[in-house]
Structure 1
Amino acid sequence: MQHRTVADLMTHDVVRARRDTPFKEIAELLADHGITAVPVVDELDHPLGVVSEADLLRKCSARSDPASATPVPRLEAWERAKAEGTRAEELMSAPAVCARPEWTVVEAARVMALRNIKRLPVVDEADRLRGIVSRGDLLRIFLRRDDAVRDEIVRDVLQRTLHLAPSDVTVEVREGQVTLGGSVHVSSLVPIIIRLCRNVDGVVSITGHIGYRADASRTPATRA
């Protein structure tokens, strides 16, 4: 059982900006390609930072508006510098937080959450830009077909990893929600099965009705 990697999900054809790309050209790149940010690279294609719609919008939000009743917030020095910027190197959020192609979906999602960012440029061993992965790309794992999720649970979790017979545990998957049934030899195996199944890409929730033959009673239903 393996998580999908960044290489599986990233966009390979990346729209780039250079240090000296002007404000208006960046806005045109975003509009023309239907994207919300562009990485800024140097002459060797190393990511230096990222310019997003939010970076560009600062130029509008920092302006005074006498007709508005909403007060303009006091800006920090770095915010004023960005609002006055005219080139990518002045507008970008830097340094660029990057991912590697071999990272799993879990690793990329954790970095995005920790750094509160929406996308990661993807670089190779020489730190050259090779792609970009976004939150939306990572969420594609939940678009997996139910039968693909079920096949992975049965084949990789139950049979290959836990060496269970096909008749031991039943698996139903609907809209990514997994229901497990059947019975196993010992009760300690039940939470292991649920934990491993939860880690399969595309699983939304787990409902377990797995009994164990070593005890007279059945385990209560659990939901994860």
Structure 2
Amino acid sequence: MEHRTIGELMTRKVVSVRLDTPFKEIVRTLADHAVSAVPVLDSLGRPAGIVSEADLLRKAADRTDLSGRTPLPDLEAWERARAEGRTAGELMSAPAVCAHPEWTVVEAARLMEVQQVKRLPVVDEADALLGIVSRGDLLRVFLRKDDAIREEIAREVIGRTARLGAAGVTAEVVRGQVALHGTVTDPLLVPVLVRMCASVDGVVSVSEDVRVTAGLTTPA
């Protein structure tokens, strides 16, 4: 399968700040580059954490509202400590949750989901920053053209399973939705084909209308 890697999808020119970058400079950096978060790097260029608009807004939310229209948020001790922070190192969410360039979209998406983060710094074997990948970057695989998806399924899925009894299967792809049609000689091939098609980059869904026929027998 020709899975696109995180190294192909990531943004390489990464805007970042240092641990000692002051609050107002972080705000200015986000505004100047039209980004909502930046990695915070240590002295060796390794991501120590991420500082986002949400981290910075915690400081504004923790201030007393003189109008009395909104209550002061009930922050936990660690949240209040970060709200009082003055530098990126004090304000950031840490430790940084990172990915590696050879990872697939599935690996990165699962990590984002488990860790509940919107972006991942991408690091090399020495944990030095190489780039950053966001949810939007991962979604770019779904912009893949239907013809490219169909060709890969024909070559890598149906082609590889043809000798096992899937030679009579064809695939239609419309807006990333795959529909399998035809016949197989082994019923166990049907879920295998569906699973393999679902793993192709850009596939949104897979349906099947595949019948099982008896295989040819050799006369005695």
Output the TM-score relative to the length of structure 2: 0.92
User: Is 2:39 aligned against 1:39?
Assistant: yes
Q: Is the partner of 2:27 in helix, strand or coil?
A: helix
Partner amino acid for 2:155? Answer: R
**C-alpha deviations, 1:1-23, integer Å up to 9, x for none?**
14221111111111110111111
Deviation at 1:166, TM superposition (A): 8.9
Equivalent residue for 1:75? 75
Equivalent residue for 1:162? 161
C-alpha distance in 1, partners of 2:76/2:187? 58
Equivalent residue for 1:93? 93
Deviation at 1:101, TM superposition (A): 0.7
Partner amino acid for 1:78? Answer: W
Equivalent residue for 1:189? 189
User: Is 2:202 aligned against 1:202?
Assistant: yes
Q: Is the partner of 1:78 in helix, strand or coil?
A: helix
Q: Is the partner of 1:163 in helix, strand or coil?
A: helix
User: Is 2:122 aligned against 1:122?
Assistant: yes
User: Is 2:13 aligned against 1:13?
Assistant: yes
C-alpha distance in 2, partners of 1:112/1:206? 24
**C-alpha deviations, 1:89-140, integer Å up to 9, x for none?**
1111111111111111111111111110111111101110001111111111
Q: Is the partner of 1:182 in helix, strand or coil?
A: strand
Equivalent residue for 2:3? 3
Q: Is the partner of 2:64 in helix, strand or coil?
A: coil
Q: Is the partner of 2:39 in helix, strand or coil?
A: strand
Equivalent residue for 1:220? none
C-alpha distance in 2, partners of 1:28/1:162? 55
Unaligned runs of 5+ in 2: 216-220
Contact 1:198–1:206 (8 Å) recurs in 2? yes
Equivalent residue for 2:175? 175
C-alpha distance in 2, partners of 1:189/1:206? 14
Equivalent residue for 1:29? 29
Partner amino acid for 2:161? Answer: L
C-alpha distance in 1, partners of 2:140/2:43? 33
Q: Is the partner of 1:209 in helix, strand or coil?
A: strand
Contact 2:17–2:40 (8 Å) recurs in 1? yes
Contact 1:154–1:166 (8 Å) recurs in 2? no
> Which deviates more from structure 2 when the two are superposed, residues 65-74 or residues 119-128?
65-74
Q: Is the partner of 2:162 in helix, strand or coil?
A: coil
C-alpha distance in 2, partners of 1:116/1:213? 46
| Count of paired positions | 214
Following TM superposition, the consecutive aligned residue runs of length 4 or more in structure 1 with deviations greater than 4 angstroms are 164-167
C-alpha distance in 1, partners of 2:146/2:162? 22
Output the TM-score relative to the length of structure 1: 0.91
C-alpha distance in 1, partners of 2:26/2:140? 27
C-alpha distance in 2, partners of 1:181/1:68? 65
Deviation at 1:167, TM superposition (A): 5.9
Partner amino acid for 2:209? Answer: H
**C-alpha deviations, 1:135-167, integer Å up to 9, x for none?**
1111111111111111111111111x3135996
Give the RMSD, CA atoms, in angstroms. Answer: 1.6
